[in-house]
């Protein structure tokens, strides 16, 4: 399985949207550059990941030594292409030793993605490294039978969904959730809050903005969580994790209304 092809699609989409959304151009250009580095890692790691036993979960199947061995390369890349604040934080990380990175990785995998905000730049490095390796492993993951009910967390890596996706199916649309960590996608009912399980239609408002025809906010009045949802039936070229970054204005609006994002994206836009 060649996972790297997806990276090319993400990079191309980020460049395309950077030209269309000036307010998000800088962050999309950075995302494209980062995607180039992640693509290289995916290519480098693909043979080793293909030889590992069929993975049952990310934590069990991850090659932490291989992953953390790429920290210096990624730091060099971030110093070169990262926004000023991140590049400065990265310069300080040159002194962080391997044992510390291993502890950060373990914390991240156990904590389901939550982390203290003062560790944000290190968390970003770990997450950016994890995506290509986790995706290579997730592509070989087989959920198997016996899974009951819709899951609001990724069955492979236990992460909450970073975005939802709507696709046409028959006369309606089908919703899937998209894992921000391993980039896996799984089916989930349309009218259920993925945070608290609310099923009452009137408690699940949908907000759209004319500027972003293919993105919307799926809110929940019961728990005040929201999920950014990319409507691929309105734009067949949409790439969920990239279109999410391009539509940050919707997140700003949702936060002003008192909603809390179910899970932050890689760039914490």
- Tell me how far apart the alpha carbons of residues 7 and 29 are, in angstroms, rounded to a whole number: 14
What are the tokens at 193?
């809050």
User: Using CB under 5 A, which of 42, 105, 126, 193 touches Zn ion?
Assistant: 193
199 vs 211, beta carbon nearer Zn ion: 199
User: Using CB under 5 A, which of 137, 177, 195, 267 touches Zn ion?
Assistant: 195
Q: Which run of H or E residues covers position 126?
A: helix 120-138
Q: Which stretch binds Zn ion (CB under 5 A): 15-23, 117-125, 147-155, 165-173?
A: 147-155
User: Using CB under 5 A, which of 120, 151, 223, 249 touches Zn ion?
Assistant: 223
Task: Please check whether residue 108 is in contact with residue 100, taking contact to mean a CB–CB distance below 8 angstroms.
Answer: no
Q: Which stretch binds Zn ion (CB under 5 A): 29-37, 140-148, 193-201, 255-263?
A: 193-201
28 vs 157, beta carbon nearer Zn ion: 157
Say whether residue 109 binds Zn ion (CB under 5 A). no
User: Using CB under 5 A, which of 28, 109, 182, 242 touches Zn ion?
Assistant: 182
- Residue holding tokens 């199947």? 61
- Tell me how far apart the alpha carbons of residues 203 and 226 are, in angstroms, rounded to a whole number: 12
User: Using CB under 5 A, which of 196, 205, 208, 249 touches Zn ion?
Assistant: 196
Say whether residue 263 binds Zn ion (CB under 5 A). no
To Zn ion, the closest distance from the beta carbon of 87 in angstroms equals 29
Phi, psi dihedral angles at 261 (to 5 degrees): -65, 135
Beta bridge partners of 189: none
Task: Considering only residues 52 through 81, tell me which ones interact with Zn ion, judged by CB under 5 A.
Answer: none
To Zn ion, the closest distance from the beta carbon of 5 in angstroms equals 19
To Zn ion, the closest distance from the beta carbon of 193 in angstroms equals 3
3-state secondary structure 71-88: HHHHHHHHHHHCCHHHHH
Number of residues that bind Zn ion (CB under 5 A): 15
Say whether residue 198 binds Zn ion (CB under 5 A). yes
CA angle 100, 155, 56 (to 5 degrees): 75
Task: Please check whether residue 181 is in contact with residue 168, taking contact to mean a CB–CB distance below 8 angstroms.
Answer: no
Phi, psi dihedral angles at 49 (to 5 degrees): -70, -35
Widest distance between CA atoms in the chain:
57
Residues binding Zn ion (CB under 5 A): 154, 156-157, 159, 179, 181-182, 184, 193, 195-196, 198, 220, 222-223
């Amino acid at each position: 399985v060649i996972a790297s092809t997806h990276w090319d699609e993400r990079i191309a989409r980020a460049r395309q949207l950077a030209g269309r959304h000036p307010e998000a151009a800088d962050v999309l250009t950075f995302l494209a550059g980062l995607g180039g580095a992640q693509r290289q890692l995916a290519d480098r790691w693909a043979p080793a990941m293909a030889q590992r036993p069929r993975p049952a979960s990310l934590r069990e199947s991850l090659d932490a030594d291989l992953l953390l061995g790429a920290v210096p390369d990624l730091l060099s890349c971030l110093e070169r292409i990262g926004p000023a604040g991140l590049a400065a934080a990265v310069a300080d990380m040159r002194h962080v030793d391997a044992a510390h990175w291993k502890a950060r990785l373990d914390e991240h995998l156990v904590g389901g993605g939550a982390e203290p905000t003062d560790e944000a730049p290190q968390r970003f490095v770990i997450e950016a490294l994890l995506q290509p390796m986790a995706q290579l492993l997730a592509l070989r993951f087989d959920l198997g039978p016996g899974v009951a009910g819709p899951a609001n967390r990724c069955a492979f890596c236990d992460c909450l969904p970073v975005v939802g996706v709507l696709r046409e199916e028959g006369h309606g649309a089908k919703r899937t959730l998209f894992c921000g960590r391993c980039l896996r996608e799984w089916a989930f009912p349309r009218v259920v809050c993925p945070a608290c399980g609310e099923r009452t239609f009137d408690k699940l408002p949908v907000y759209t903005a004319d500027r972003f025809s293919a993105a919307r906010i799926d809110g929940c009045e019961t728990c005040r969580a929201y999920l950014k949802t990319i409507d691929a039936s309105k734009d067949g070229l949409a790439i969920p994790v990239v279109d999410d970054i391009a539509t940050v204005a919707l997140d700003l609006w949702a936060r002003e209304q008192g909603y809390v994002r179910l899970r932050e994206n890689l760039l914490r836009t």
